[in-house]
Amino acid sequence: MKVAIKQNKNPATAQDIDGQDHLIILIPRSTWPDFPYKEVLQRRVEKQSADDHAPYSTELPNNRDTRVSLARIAPDLSPFDTLTLARKLAAAHWQRELSPAKVAIVTAGFDTATAARLIEAVTAALLAKARPLPSYKSDQKPQRPLKTIEIFASPAGLDLAGTVAEAEGNHLARALTVLPPNELTPARYRERVAELAREHGWRMKFFDIKTLRRMKAGAFLAVAQGSAAQDDGIVHLRYEPKGNSKKPALALVGKGICFDTGGHNLKPAKSMQGMHEDMAGSAVALGTLLALSRLKVDFPVDCWLALAQNMISPLAYKQNDVVTALNGTTIEVVHTDAEGRMVLADTLALACRAQPAFIIDYATLTGTCIYALGTGYSGAFTNRAGLINNIIGAGVDSGERVWPFPTDSDYDKALESDIADVKQCTLEGEADHILAARFLNRFVDEKIPWLHLDLASASHKGGLAHIPTATTGFGVRYTLDLVLAKKIMRQS
């Protein structure tokens, strides 16, 4: 679904407004600047007793009964709060049977930079709202697609290409993540990825079970051996810009556990509910690859997807098994429900062989990260302490917030094994998100800068920032800011 974005440099006239069915108006909280229907809206807003931080929705007294959502915005509103407000403004135009084909945006009273920031946030929210996620309801009614966003008084130089690319990548991530586990097995996931590769000109290679056995990727294979289908494996995709294929690449690595039973350490029903979304990290990596490809970045991007299922079966791996990873590290299995770090271990080691300029991995990895942060933030771990400010800053500026955790080497003591090089985890569960990062660090070449994102906010009830669904696709927008605005690859 493509949405046309029309940028009109001129302020909206009364005639322009009367030609709209759906309108979003943004003005400063401290004043009422001039714009069409100002007096009508001012009387209505000031008459209500509701908190003026919240959007106000009404219909204009014209022939179209134009649906309006209006926000009075404080000058110090954070990017996250701006995106949250934008989500609420957009939601006012998708009520009951209402589904707009066109939405206009009007700003008044702001400087150019502020107006551009607000318009970008509302555009992001509209694009996120406009594309429905897969549904299997038999009475599902088709939604009229949003075809046009028209911006009045568009600031000079406003470039929304990144917003459009981010929206496409985020939607791909969310759409894949919500698919039921019988629809997104590793084999079917790979088929979908192959279609995307053909469409976007990505090179694709699949490391199947037989290949991984030859490569001695024992950490990945330990998890895969419990699956009757034996369709697990690692997908490698590569985007190459014209003329710059020799540049060092950005490597994106994603945990793609299509369903997680917990293995022999079986999850209870409440914990197993929703485990088809344990592949969210791989979907974010793939969505980020799509967004960067759409933007035609001038550096190569490698994307590595660790696709597997963690099943219970007579052949499934067990506590106290010892396996040897791709890089030769021996691992003592302690808990079969800590499978994510196992498949990521070999996938990270494989990604390092190409000596990328930077590695980012995405994973719904630990419950302790959710306990520490809730689901409004995701956890960040890096082997380059000097990048911490940029890692935090990208979260602040993108509205997809992260918080860094320590990765000091003294945490390794908890992972010491009597029989192998390292324990997979501990049974105590204390600081498991940090221990998981320390475990993964063993499989990353120390010469390569690395960021591990533990996606505590992959799911957030009611939506998060500009995203209207509980499944958030968190990470695509964050990575675009980190890589393109913060230029993290140059600074590392």
Question: Tokens 């003592």, residue?
Answer: 332
| The two three-digit tokens of residue 330, written as one number | 């021996």
Phi, psi for 106 (deg, rounded to 5):
-125, 130
Question: Tokens 């957030």, residue?
Answer: 460
Rounded Cα distance between 79 and 454, Å, is 22
Do 301 and 289 meet the contact criterion of CB atoms below 8 Å apart? yes
Q: Tell me the one-letter amino acid at 128.
A: A
Do 87 and 79 meet the contact criterion of CB atoms below 8 Å apart? no
Do 473 and 364 meet the contact criterion of CB atoms below 8 Å apart? no
| The two three-digit tokens of residue 467, written as one number | 């995203």
Question: What residues are annotated to the active site?
Answer: 267, 341
Phi, psi for 309 (deg, rounded to 5):
-125, 145
Computed on alpha carbons and rounded to an integer, the radius of gyration of the chain in Å comes to 24
| The two three-digit tokens of residue 253, written as one number | 């690595």
Do 105 and 122 meet the contact criterion of CB atoms below 8 Å apart? yes
Beta strand residue intervals within 170-283, DSSP E: 203-207, 233-239, 250-260
Chain centroid, CA 109 distance in Å: 33
Do 68 and 60 meet the contact criterion of CB atoms below 8 Å apart? yes
